[in-house]
Amino acid sequence: MLARLKKFTRIAFIGANIITLILYLLACLVPFINSGRSWFIAMMGLIFPLLFLGTLIFLAYWIFRRSRWAFVCLAVLLCGWRQVTVMWSFHFPQEFSAAKPANTLRVFSWNLSSWGVSNRSDGKKADYEEEMIELIKKSNADVLCLQEYVYLKEKKRRDTIPQALQENGYKYSYFVNTNYTYKIYSTTLITAVAIISKYPLTDTTHFFYDFEDYSEPVIYADVNMPGQKVRVFSTHLQSVMFDNYHYKALYDLKNPSKASISGSKAIAYRLRNAYVKRAWQASMVNQKVTVSPYPAVVCGDFNDVPNSYSYFTARGDLQDAFLEKGSGFGKTLRIISPTLRIDYILADKKFRVAQYHKFDVPFSDHYPIVADLEIRKD
């Protein structure tokens, strides 16, 4: 009886190992397969950190047992090296330096969540605009790329830089309204994606993805910094649009007794639609960057992890500021998972990334990020 139990346990363990390896290999295909055509494989990118950890555990076990399975696990792990290098930044954490060297462009990106309106449920404040503006000022950034920027329709704040930012040197801006408005109580709120700068902006333009999307257009502005013109892009790719029902279904997945088939299907349906739309949105971003006559910087909320087709497509030949100077997983979404890095600053290789920092503040459901981009002299 004991021998049969041991045999069954070994077969089950090897079976779990094989399934993990297969899913891991599927995740390795994510950068190469359009997520609009294969959303199931795209989802493997979302759980890549777990698959990597699982494969690593199996590898350690087989090494301990001195089994040939260790070579199989190691070979499979190496197949995903490209995915591993974008998942984790291999640098020690560093303090943010407010001092900015000459010949450096400091870029700041933040999904404002309508100035923290998403935190209304905590019952403390209507929004966190004052606190968020204060943080932006302390960042001493040259260019701000802001998503889910909100203004009140009744007050007609469109294309208006907040007074506190104007007084801090932010005189130039480019705002583009998104495709949707919403109401809180009797107030109509309009969202926009914006680029705000201390340097003059020229040749601004925008491109809408789809007028029925829950995304924000890709916009760009040419920034005239001393001795160099830089094209800065800002965008917000398709949101999954989870509501309270979907978040509850996500949390229920942690407890099989509470999970439901209908909840799982609803989550998969939202993910599938978002993957399809983000695939061609990322392609559009890449196309606009490719034809830029100036060194390009792309900022925004991609609503997707680094282990995704959207990320690799939008990034193209650009360098990821987080990978160059960040540390660890670099989580930028405050909720759900510790591995969700979905906000990015991508820079032309004509820049040297001198500094990257994430501000750990609770005002929005996203963390703001900043990077110092030094123009190479060669």
What is the amino acid identity at position 296? A
Average confidence (pLDDT) over 223-234 = 94
Say yes or no to pLDDT of 156 above 70: no
Fold annotation for 104-375: Deoxyribonuclease I; Chain A (3.60.10)
Residue % of the chain over a pLDDT of 90: 57
Average confidence (pLDDT) over 211-222 = 82
Rounded-to-integer distance, Cα 59 and Cα 63, Å: 6
Greatest mean pLDDT range, 113-127, 157-171, 182-196, 198-212 = 198-212
Rounded-to-integer distance, Cα 202 and Cα 221, Å: 6
Tokens of 244: 């309270």
Lowest mean pLDDT among 229-243, 246-260, 306-320, 362-376: 246-260
Continuous segment of H or E residues that includes residue 52: helix 48-65
Confidence of residue 152 (pLDDT cuts 50, 70, 90): low
- Determine contact, residues 72/108, Cβ cutoff 8 Å: no
Lowest mean pLDDT among 98-112, 202-216, 307-321, 356-370: 202-216
What pLDDT score was predicted for residue 146? 96
**Stretch(es) of the chain classified as CATH 3.60.10.10:** 104-375
Say yes or no to pLDDT of 155 above 60: no
Residue % of the chain over a pLDDT of 70: 83
Rg (CA), the chain: 22
Tokens of 63: 């090494």
Average model confidence (pLDDT) for the chain? 86
Say yes or no to pLDDT of 285 above 80: yes
Q: Which residue has the higher pLDDT, 24 or 113?
A: 24
What pLDDT score was predicted for residue 319? 98
Half-sphere exposure of residue 19: CA atoms within 13 angstroms, side-chain side: 6
Rounded-to-integer distance, Cα 232 and Cα 313, Å: 18
What is the amino acid identity at position 233? F
Write out pLDDT tens, residues 337-361.
788 999 999 999 999 999 999 999 9
Lowest mean pLDDT among 157-161, 193-197, 229-233: 157-161
Say yes or no to pLDDT of 185 above 50: no
Say yes or no to pLDDT of 260 above 50: yes
Write out pLDDT tens, residues 54-69.
999 999 999 999 999 9
C-alpha distances out from residue 190 to 60, 271, 361, Å: 53, 25, 24
Confidence of residue 262 (pLDDT cuts 50, 70, 90): low
- Show Cβ contacts of residue 30 under 8 Å, excluding neighbours closer than 6 positions: 41, 42, 44, 45, 48, 83, 307, 308, 309, 312
Say yes or no to pLDDT of 181 above 60: no
Rounded-to-integer distance, Cα 171 and Cα 161, Å: 8
Pairing of strands 351-358, 104-111: unpaired
Q: Is 264 helix (H, G, I), strand (E, B) or coil?
A: helix
CA 10 to chain centre: 40
Eight-state DSSP code of residue 238: P
Q: Residue 18's CB: how many other CB atoms inside 10 A? A: 13
Q: Is 310 helix (H, G, I), strand (E, B) or coil?
A: helix
Rounded-to-integer distance, Cα 322 and Cα 86, Å: 9
Confidence of residue 159 (pLDDT cuts 50, 70, 90): low
